[in-house]
Amino acid sequence: MESNWTENNFFRFIKKTLNHIKIPGLHGLGLYDLLKIFIEGLINGFIGPRAAAVSYSLFMSLFPFVIFLFSLLPQFELADDLQRVFEQTVLARIFPDNSANLTTSLDSILGEKNLTILSTGFLLSIIFTTNGINALISGFNLTYHKLEKRHFIRQYFIALILTIIFTLLFILMLFIIYYASPLSRYIEERQMRYISNYSDLISGGLASTLTIATFFLGVSLLYKYGPKTKFSFKEILPGAIFATLLFILSFWGFGVYIKYFAQYKTLYNSLGTILILMLWIYINVIIILTGFELNATFYVTKRLRSDQIRDELKS
């Protein structure tokens, strides 16, 4: 009996302490009440099944997109350099170590300018990647907090536009990393003291920063233009920042898990890489949906609090 009383007092103290922290823009709502609404939305919104459904569509869109990139690179004089940037730098910072092996089966495409594969891969990339983005938007629409929904044709068109924007962002990141690499070579050639020893660290840090910035910009665009509800840029920032931080933590944590605990590659050989990739996509979809749920919680709570205050003033 005494332990229950102590436990109740402890949780009452935590609740009171957290509610002393007022969230800006929510008209005096405490942190505890906000977290309660947020967690209820995650649980009652069935975020796990939603993420599983979206992950399947994104997984189906990944291979056509990679095929398109590997078909497109030989069209440039910088094909070998861009391939190296894509495989060794970009993939290494987007996926855990073992997932990068997926590109080895596509090496034969590089080195031949196959226009048939290029055109087919482009069409498949657009269709399947748009389906993946559309599935993400549909996942947003299934939030526990009731938000407006677009007509499916309009929603698919928005997904197509976002697909094109994301593709351009990815290619831009690829070229920025490539053209920034001479910086490390310049440092090495000049043999700058105290800096030349850190040239790899500098180039790696640049690539990681660009990857994180691209992820942040990508989820911000998804949160802003994906749902029909008109979120302001200020309103999407909490979810975008939260999702980006979770992405960084999950990348590190998942890498440790794969390296020391998971034995997918030993048990399933080449299929292990696919299982790792599917799990990695699933985790990131949960992260993106969680960030959106946070934005939806802020959005709905802010308007509910405004209505409550308005009713109190009228009465």
31 and 151 belong to one structural domain: no
- CB < 8 Å & 24+ apart, contacts of 38-44: 38/293, 38/294, 38/297, 40/144, 41/143, 41/144, 41/145, 41/293, 41/296, 41/297, 42/144, 42/290, 42/293, 44/144
Residues 82 and 131 grouped into a single domain? yes
Domain match, 108 and 246 both: yes
141 lies in the same domain as 175: yes
Mean pLDDT of 132-147: 85
Assess whether 24 and 64 both reside in one domain. no
Residues 166 and 254 in one domain: yes
> Would the pTM of this model clear 0.85, i.e. be above it?
no
pLDDT in tens, 231-286: 888 889 999 999 999 998 888 777 677 666 556 556 556 666 677 778 888 999 99
Distance CA 279, CA 287 (A): 12
Please tell me which of 1-5, 52-56, 125-129 the model is most confident about, judged by mean pLDDT: 52-56
pLDDT digits (tens, 9 = 90+) for 30-80: 777 778 888 888 888 888 888 888 888 888 877 777 766 666 666 666 666
Query: What total of structural domains would you count in the chain?
Result: 2
Domain that holds residue 20: 1-44
